[in-house]
Structure 1
Amino acid sequence: MSPIFLLSLILQVGCCVHVVRSGRPLYWVLILLMFSYLAVLVYVIVAVVPDMRMRRSGDRVLRKVRAHLDPGRDARAASLQAEVADTPENRRRLAIECLRTGDFAGAEQAYRRALRGIYAHDPDMLLGLARAQLGLDQPADALATLTTLAEANPGYRSYDADLLHANLLDILGRTEEALRRFEAVAPNYPGEEARVRLGQLLRQAGHTDRAAEQFRDSIARAQAAPAYYQREQKAWLEIARRELATLTA
């Protein structure tokens, strides 16, 4: 039996099983058996791929509903897993869940327990620790953590780390440094937060014309972007429009 024929047979049988399990019309079985590779290709496009997309969409909806009904479920599971096996990876997962639910003290503790041994300077975990420290209203400690991250990982690049660094400088009143950092991050940041925050800082520093230009640029960028991007960035775009309306009133 040739490999080509064998592969065709395997694909045909697999698709026929999918037909039966998914409850599709049985004429698909006849089509698949008669037309081999062409029928398999058509069936995958019109049936298998849509089913996979619907399944992923359904899984996302289920996760959202579950998170709404029991927001602490994943955090409890991560905590139990970390107690059973106290590994850096399990502590990292627990820390991420704590951050998600706003338990910044729990996140800080989990990150500190994970940042040991070969993971002592893990850049992603240091970034998470800095976020937890900011949530605990410890901006100076968070900035020190980011400094440690940069010194220990000179090749590490993260838009989120750069934005957090700029925000911390702003919170600590180091306005000129914050402006320079925001101006470096904003042009390529994958979202409108950095650009809108830059506009707000420019306005606070008295650079109203530059601030208005920044808000206009953010709005124009989003208008030229796909609809899904506009939905994702809706909150920041509303801030940009309000700020611009105030400046031009």
Structure 2
Amino acid sequence: MPFAGLGLHILFALFCAVHVVRSGQQLYWLFILFAFPLLGSLVYFFVIYLPNSRLERGARKTLSAAARSLDPGRAVREARERFDATPTAQHQMDLAAALLDNGQAAEAATQYEACLKGPFASDPDIRLGAARAFADSGRPVEALAHLEALRRERADFRADQIAVLRARCLAALDGHHRDEARAAFEEALSRHGTFEAHAEYAIWALGIGDQATAQRLQAEIERITRHWNKMSRELNEPVLRRLRAARQAS
């Protein structure tokens, strides 16, 4: 039994080590993981891996949605008050994220632009937030620049979100990029298969009159959403609303 326990420790450390290399983390983590297999792996899991996982993002998204439903402007008000009182880079990052979550993409983009000139300019969360803000405020070219940089430098960082957002940005360019947009949507679908990938692809397909693709995607969307609970539907309501509007417009 002790040997089996030791083996599990090593396997856990190897799992974390693979994540270190693939996600571009600092290489000193490798020393920590193999010098202290169990403790190092646990620290890495909770400090690095879990905060970037879908499970953690889903929990944060649920809590954020619940707070917004009770007081839609509270997060922005509190973030703005903190930044006005103490204009640090961290407080500006928090304000930018709160604005983006509240649908104020243009102002969020302005705040993110300032963040990108500060000490956290290379932070992947900042770059992804900036890309989302640029995309949502009609600036797809600037969004794509950050997404491509993330794909090069942090290949495993929120790859599912980046793939869908990249496809959306290509779709927002002129008609000459239609083939690239379709290829990007297909890649997001095949690699990640998330509801968001299906829904955004369907919205785009309906927008260009590709009914065959939209119908194929709709069947899978219905399968995914069939067993959703109320909270899941509320969390995804913005995308569902856009999808319903696209269907009506087509």
Deviates more, 1:228-237 or 1:114-123: 228-237
Equivalent in 185, 188, 203 of residue 182 of structure 1: 185
Whole-angstrom distance in 1 between the partners of 2:133 and 2:166: 14
Whole-angstrom distance in 2 between the partners of 1:160 and 1:199: 16
CA-CA distance at 1:244 after TM superposition: 7.7
SS of 2:138's partner is coil
Is 1:216 matched up with 2:219?
yes
Percent identity, aligned pairs only, is 24
The amino acid across from 1:64 in the alignment is S
Q: Is the 8 A contact 1:215 1:240 kept in 2?
A: no
Distance of aligned partners of 1:198 and 1:88 in 2 relative to their CA distance in 1, 3 Å threshold: same
Name which structure has the greater RCO, CA cutoff 8 Å, separation 6+.
2
Residue 116 of structure 2: aligned partner: 115
Whole-angstrom distance in 1 between the partners of 2:65 and 2:209: 45
Equivalent in 229, 235, 249 of residue 227 of structure 1: 229
Residue 142 of structure 2: aligned partner: 141
Distance of aligned partners of 1:126 and 1:246 in 2 relative to their CA distance in 1, 3 Å threshold: closer
- TM-score with structure 2 setting the length: 0.59
Distance of aligned partners of 1:83 and 1:189 in 2 relative to their CA distance in 1, 3 Å threshold: farther
CA-CA distance at 1:204 after TM superposition: 5.2
Q: Give deviations 1:75-133, integer Å, cap 9, x for gaps.
A: 23212322333332211101012223333343223223323455221111111112222
Whole-angstrom distance in 1 between the partners of 2:207 and 2:142: 25
Q: Is the 8 A contact 1:143 1:168 kept in 2?
A: yes
The amino acid across from 2:229 in the alignment is A
Q: Is the 8 A contact 1:195 1:214 kept in 2?
A: yes
SS of 1:82's partner is helix
Whole-angstrom distance in 2 between the partners of 1:144 and 1:92: 19
Residue 47 of structure 1: aligned partner: none
Deviates more, 1:159-168 or 1:214-223: 214-223
Q: How does 1:67-216 map to 2 (within 5 A)?
A: 67-68=71-72, 71=73, 73-116=74-117, 118-173=119-174, 174-187=177-190, 188-191=192-195, 193-203=196-206, 207-216=210-219
SS of 2:82's partner is helix
The amino acid across from 2:181 in the alignment is A
CA-CA distance at 1:190 after TM superposition: 3.8
Deviates more, 1:138-147 or 1:228-237: 228-237
Whole-angstrom distance in 2 between the partners of 1:75 and 1:241: 28
SS of 2:143's partner is helix
Distance of aligned partners of 1:89 and 1:180 in 2 relative to their CA distance in 1, 3 Å threshold: same
The amino acid across from 2:178 in the alignment is T
What CA RMSD, in Å, does the superposition of the two structures yield over aligned residues?
Answer: 3.5
Q: Is the 8 A contact 2:79 2:91 kept in 1?
A: yes
Distance of aligned partners of 1:106 and 1:241 in 2 relative to their CA distance in 1, 3 Å threshold: closer
Distance of aligned partners of 1:210 and 1:119 in 2 relative to their CA distance in 1, 3 Å threshold: same
The amino acid across from 1:177 in the alignment is E
Q: Is the 8 A contact 2:203 2:242 kept in 1?
A: no
CA-CA distance at 1:61 after TM superposition: 6.6
Distance of aligned partners of 1:122 and 1:219 in 2 relative to their CA distance in 1, 3 Å threshold: same
- TM-score with structure 1 setting the length: 0.59
Q: Which has the larger radius of gyration?
A: 1
Q: Is the 8 A contact 1:202 1:208 kept in 2?
A: yes
Q: Provide structure 2 residue ranges, at least 5 long, that are not aligned to the other structure.
A: 1-63
